[in-house]
């Protein structure tokens, strides 16, 4: 319908298009609100499920703490062992204050 309106540039067709568009937008908005209300009311007594539902609605992705597979040390060496990587991070952040001063 939108392409028909754009190609003909008729005011009546545009008026009909706007009415249909607004009606559809209103219907979608009402349906979304109804869905969210039902979802919240269904889980209002279980806070864990409520927060899971809200997280799903806003597309919340949990943060994962991953250790890098390899790191280049301050000396230019490649480190692959998680313990060595942790120690390199520890050394870097514990010495940065004295290097910045």
28 pLDDT above the threshold of 90: yes
- Going by pLDDT thresholds of 50, 70 and 90, the confidence category of residue 8 is low
Are 44 and 36 within 8 A, CB to CB? no
- The position carrying tokens 């040390």 is 73
Supply the DSSP string of 67-79, one letter for each residue.
Answer: --S-EE-TTS-EE
Structure tokens at 40: 């919240």
Rounded-to-integer distance, Cα 78 and Cα 96, Å: 20
Sequence-separated (6 or more) residues with CB below 8 Å from residue 79:
70, 71, 72, 73, 85, 88
Q: What is the mean pLDDT of residues 1-14?
A: 66
* pLDDT (tens digit per residue) in 37-96: 998 899 989 999 988 888 888 877 767 777 678 888 878 888 888 888 888 889 888 988
What is the model's pLDDT at position 59? 78
0.95 exceeded by pTM: no
């Amino acid at each position: 319908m939108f392409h028909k309106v754009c190609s003909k540039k008729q005011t009546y067709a545009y008026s009909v298009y706007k009415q249909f568009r607004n009606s559809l937008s209103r219907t979608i908005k009402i349906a979304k609100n109804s869905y969210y209300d039902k979802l919240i009311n269904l889980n209002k007594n279980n806070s864990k499920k409520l927060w899971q539902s809200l997280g799903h609605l806003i597309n919340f992705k949990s943060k994962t703490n991953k250790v890098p597979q390899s790191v280049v040390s301050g000396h230019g060496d490649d480190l692959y062992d998680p313990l060595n990587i942790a120690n390199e991070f520890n050394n870097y952040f514990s010495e940065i204050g004295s290097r910045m001063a």
